[in-house]
Amino acid sequence: MFNYEFMRYALIAGFLGGVTCSVIGVLVISMQSSFIGVAVAHAAFAGSIIALFIGINPLMGALIFSILSAATIGPISDRGEFSPDTPLGIIFAMMHGLAFLFMGMMSSSKTQALDLMWGNALAINEFGLKIIIVAFVLVVGLIILFYKEIQAVMFNREIALSVGLPASWIFYGILFLTGITVAANLQSIGGLLVCTLIITPAAAAYQLTYNLKYLFLIASAFGVFSCWAGLILTYYINLPSGAIIVLISSMIFLIVNAFSPRKKVKRVKSLKDVSKL
């Protein structure tokens, strides 16, 4: 299995993509805006389908649309006229409609479009891998560089702003990195599924700890395991890699949630409260 170049590319992409998606997921969940990943993923998917329709590289379309959607979400959310989920829901619905409209207008084979929808990590080429590497370096590098500032914004955005930190710009930066992450991993995970790989490893990690450093490490471990296990299964059973990866990731969340020590702590606290009555 490891003698094949496409499998080596897929495993490297799985490691880098698993880490990148998971650390972005930790930030997104910390901001209590899990729907951001969903909206940006569908924007990237729509962009890739439109790019495919007009005959340019789907990755470029995905990158442009995901960044534009991220740039739109930030200012609308900051105005305070709507809850953050309102613009996210509008973007999600609009991009979903655009993607399937242009897919329906395609006269040629829809095989590549379906790969973009469900993901096909085993088809990643050298160019696609380079994009994933760039996204990994950019996301992880910026998080390490601005870790203290990000931690402050994650704790309380208003307090971070009051002490002089550029909280809005950090928030916009996280949205931008989310767009980059989604676009880079679109081919391997799929436009309809990449949001799951962003959310579920981070959500599983949150069942075990609140420490931001540990959250990054645990979520990354869950993400990489999901990708590698999914790729190996895909190699042997010939099913869409994106679907297998997100199913494994979801199973990890369910298992961790069932045995979460945090749930036990909450249960003990609730019993103590009842005993005081």
Rounded mean pLDDT, 137-160: 86
What is the per-residue pLDDT across 238-254, written as a single tens digit (0 to 9) for each?
Answer: 888 888 998 999 999 99
pLDDT at position 30 = 86
CA distances from 106 to 33, 52, 170 (A): 34, 9, 39
φ/ψ (deg, to 5) at 248:
-65, -45
pTM of the model: 0.85
CATH of residue 50's domain is: 1.10.3470.10
Domain containing residue 207: 5-276
Q: Please name which of 177, 182, 176 lies closest in space to residue 44, comparing C-alpha atoms.
A: 182
The span from the CA of 244 to the CA of 74, in Å, is: 32
Q: pLDDT tier at 79 (50, 70, 90 boundaries)?
A: low
What is the per-residue pLDDT across 183-196, written as a single tens digit (0 to 9) for each?
Answer: 888 888 887 788 88
What is the per-residue pLDDT across 37-58, written as a single tens digit (0 to 9) for each?
Answer: 778 888 888 898 999 899 888 8
Name the domain count of the chain: 1
Within 8 A by CB and 6+ apart from 27, the residues are: 143, 150, 154, 174, 177, 178
pLDDT at residue 276 greater than cutoff 70? no
More confident residue, 144 or 159: 144
CB 57 within 8 A of CB 258: no
Q: What percent of the chain has pLDDT over 70?
A: 90
